[in-house]
Structure 1
Amino acid sequence: MSRIVISLSGEGRGHAARTLSLLEMLDGHRVLALVPDKIRQWFERETASFSELQICRLPSLSFQYRSSGKLSYTKSWMVAAPFIAKLSNNLAKLREWVSGFGPELAIADFEPLLPRLASRLSIPLLSLDHQHFLHSIDPAALPRQIRRKVVFLRPSVKLFCPTADRHLVSSFYRYPQRSGTDRYQQIGVLLRKGMGRMPSQVGEHILVYTRRSQAAASWLPTVANASRSVLVYGCGESAKSANIDFRPIDGEQFLVDLSSCKALITTAGNQLVGEALNLGKPVLAIPEKGNFEQQINGYFLAQSGMGQTLAVENVSNKTLRNFLERLAEFRKNIAFYSGSGNACVLKSIHQMLGLATAADAKAHIVSSQKIQQVHQ
C-alpha cells in the first residue's frame, strides 16, 4: 500500500470529477487529499465510502466574473494577490500535514501549492489536468482569433505548476503539439467506474449543466422553447417551471440523467464534454464569455463532428433547432469515439511509484555506504 497526496482546483466540476475517478483507481492506497473549502463539504459526501482517504483543507484560487457572467481576468488576478502574499505561510502549514503523511507520490490537478511543496520535499510529482494543453498546443492549429489568447494564457499555466516529473494532459480531443513539449502526454478524460456499467439510452429530455445561473440566463429560455423536457443542473434547486426541471447537484443522479438524455447543452468544460461523448451523447457547447479555454474546447468539439459550439449571443430558436436536427449525424460520428484516459493514468502512477521506490532504495544504499565509511 503506497501513500499518495493529491490536490485539486476548486474551480469547476471537471477537476472534482477527475479526482473522484482518480480515487477509484487508487483503491488500495492511502491517500491524502488537499481540497479547497469551496467544494470540501461536497467532496466529503462524495468520498464517504473511501476508507483510506484523509482530507485536508487547501487554500485556493478562484475565477472572478462580472455581473453579466463574463469571466474577468483582471478581477481574478486582483483576488489572487492576497493568495500570493500568503503563499509562504500556506506552504508552511501544508508542509506539516504532508510531511507527517509521508507520501511517495504527489498528483496535482491545476493547483499551485502542492507542486511547490513536492519540489521542496523531493516528492515525485505527476501533473494531471486539462489546462496544460494551453502550454503544449501548437497555436498554428487554431483559428487566428484564438491564437493570441493561447499565447496570453500560456505563462499562467506554468505559474500553477512550475515543474513536474511527468505531465498528463486529459482531453476529449487530440491536438497538435508544438516542438519541445514531447513530455506532455495527451490522454482521454477520466471516467468513473459507474459510467462503464451505466446503460446509455436516448430519452426525451435535454440535459443542461452550467456553473453559474447568470451565465445561462440569456439562453436557457430559448432551450426551454426547443424541447418538451429540460433538466437543469448548476442553477440551484428551484420549483419546476413549465418544462424546465431545476435539480440540485447530485453526482449519481446527474450521471443517470446524462446517460438517458438525447443531448447535452453545457458550457464547454473539457471533462463533462468527454463524459457525454463516451456515453454517446451529442453536445452543444456554449462557452462562458471571456473563457478562452472553453472557446478552444468548443472549437475542437465542432471540428470533431460530434457536436456544435455557439457563442452566447448566437443562441436562438433557429440555431438550437439546427443543432437538434443534426443529432443523428452527431451520434453517427460519436460511434467511433473512444476517449478514456484511465489506463494511461494508472500506468503512469505505477511507473512513478516504481521510480519512487527505486530512488528510495538508491538513497538507502548511499546512506548505508556513508555509515560504513564513518565506521571504517
Structure 2
Amino acid sequence: MSKFLFIIQGEGRGHLTQAISLAQLLRANDHEVVAGLVGIGKGRQLPSFFYDSFPADIHSFYSPHLIMGKRGISFSKTITHHLFRIPLYVKSLQAIHAHVQHYQPDVIVNFYDVLGGLYALTYRPAVPIVAVGHHYLFLRNDFIFPAQRSLDHWLLKINTRLTAVRAQKLLALSFYPTAIPTHHRIVTVPPLLRGAVKALTPTQEPFFLVYVTYAAMSKTVIEWHLQHPEVNLHCFWDQPDHRFDETLTFHKVDGAKFLEMMARCTALVTTAGFESVCEAMYLGKPALMVPAHYEQACNALDAQRAGAGIAAEEFDLSLLLDYLPNHVPAQDHFQEWCAQATPLFLAHLEEVVLERRVLEAISSE
C-alpha cells in the first residue's frame, strides 16, 4: 500500500471531480489517499459535493489563477490581481509544506495547481510529484491549437509549465489515445470520469440541454428560441427556475439534475469544459461547443477531432441542427478508452512509487 497526497486546483469543478475519481480508484486498489490540499481564490468556498465525496482529509489554501477578460486571458488583470497577494501565497506554500511533512506521502499528485508547482520549485521535496490534467496535452509537439491569439497561447503554456515544475510524470488526460510520445515525461491517459456518470443508462428525448455560463448567453438563447419555438430547450443557469414557455425552461444549477438530464437529452450545448465534453461523449450525446476562453477553444477543436460534436465561435443552435444528421457516434471507442483508466493510472503511479523505493534502498546501502 502506498500513500498519496493530492494538491488540487479548486477553480471550477473539473479538477475536483478528477481528484475524487482518482482517490476512489486508488482506494479500490488498496492504496491510501491521505489528504487533499485545495487551492482556491480569496473569498471563494469549496463546493459541498467535494466535502461529501472526497475520501480523505481536506485542507484549503489560497492559490493564484488566470484572470479572464472579455477577449480571453487578461495578462494585466492577472498580474495586478495577484501582485498584492504574494504574502498570502507565501503562507500557502508554507502550509503545503507543513501538510507534506505531517502526512509523509509516497507520492504527491498535483491537479494543475500553480502553487503545487511553485512548492516543488522552492521546497524541492524528496517526495516524487506526478502532475494530472488535460492541459499537459498542450505541451505535446503535435497538439493543434486554434489560430492566432498568440498571447493567450503563451500564457496558457507558461501556466501549464509552472504547475508541472519538477514533476516526474505528466499524466495528460485526453479524449483519445495518442500513438507516439513526443516528450519523455508526458503520458496520455484516459479521462477520470465520475462513477455517477458511468452508472447512468442514456436514453434520447427530444430536447437540447444548454449550460448557460453568463447572463448575456441567456438573452442569446431566448432570441434563438423565439425564431425556433418548435425546438425544446432545457437550460441551466445560476438564477431561480423559470419556465419561459412550453418549449424553453431555465433550471437553477444543480449538478445531479444536470447529469440526469444529460443522460436523456438529444444533444448538449456547452462551453467546452473538458469534463462536460467527456461526460457527453461517454453518454453518447453530440455537443455544440462554444468556448468562452482560449483553453476551452483548445478543448473544443480537440474534441471535435475526437468526434464529440462541432466547435463554434458563437452560440447558434442552427449549427447543431445541421450537424446532427451527419454525426458519427464516438461513444463505443470513447468508452473503451475510458475503461483503460484504472490499469493505466495504477501502472504509472505505482512505477513512480517503485522508483522511489529503489532509490531509497540504494542510498541506504
TM-score range, shorter chain: 0.7 to 0.9
Percent sequence identity is 22
Consecutive unaligned residues of structure 1, counting only runs of 5 or more, are 367-376
Shift of 1:345: 2.0
Partner in structure 1 of residue 110 of structure 2: 108
**In 2 relative to 1, CA 250–217 (structure 1 residues): closer, same or farther, beyond 3 Å?**
closer
CA 1:223–1:257 in 2, change beyond 3 Å: closer, same or farther?
farther
Aligned: 1:15 with 2:18: no
Shift of 1:286: 0.3
- 1:127 is aligned to 2:131: yes
Q: Aligned-residue CA RMSD in angstroms?
A: 3.0
Q: TM-score, normalised by structure 1?
A: 0.81
Deviations 1:101-154 (A, max 9, x none): 111111111102223435622111110011122222436x44643677534532
Note closer, same or farther for the CA distance 1:204–1:47 as it changes in structure 2 (3 Å cut): farther
Judged with a 3 Å threshold, the aligned counterparts in structure 2 of structure 1 residues 218 and 246 are, in CA distance, closer, same or farther, namely: closer
Q: Which has the larger radius of gyration?
A: 1
Residue 17 and residue 223 in structure 1: after superposition, are their counterparts in 2 closer, same or farther (change >3 A)?
farther
Decide which moves more: 230-239 or 23-32: 230-239
Query: Equivalent of 1:337, from 334, 339, 361?
Result: 334
Tell me the equivalent position of 2:258.
254
Which string of whole-angstrom CA distances, capped at 9 and with x for unpartnered residues, describes residues 309-343 of structure 1? Answer: 1112xx34xxx224124324325354543442622
| Contact 2:284/2:329 (8 A) holds in 1 | no
Alignment counterpart, residue 301 of structure 1, candidates 300, 303, 308: 303
- Partner secondary structure for residue 301 of structure 2: helix
Shift of 1:203: 1.7
The verdict on how the C-alpha distance between 1:148 and 1:95 changes in structure 2, with shifts beyond 3 A counting, is closer
Q: Alpha-carbon deviations, 1:60-79, whole Å to 9, x = none?
A: 2234344x585533312321
Residue 374 of structure 1 is matched in structure 2 by none
* CA 246–3 in structure 1, closer or farther in 2 if over 3 Å, else same: farther
Aligned pair count?
A: 352
SS for the counterpart of 1:301 is: helix
| Structure 2 contact 234–250 (Cα < 8 Å) conserved | yes
2:284 maps to 1:280: yes
Tell me how far 1:34 sits from its aligned partner: 0.9
Q: Counterparts of 2:235 and 2:211 in 1: how far apart (Å)? A: 6
Corresponding residue of 2:238: 235
What is the CA deviation profile of residues 160-199 of structure 1, one whole-angstrom value per residue up to 9, with x for unaligned ones? 32220101111224679895x2321112211112222211
The Cα of 1:33 is off from its aligned counterpart by 0.4
What residue identity is the alignment partner of 2:56? L
Deviation at 1:85, TM superposition (A): 4.8
SS at match of 1:207: strand
Stretches of 4+ moved more than 6 A in 1?
175-178
Aligned-partner SS, 1:298? helix
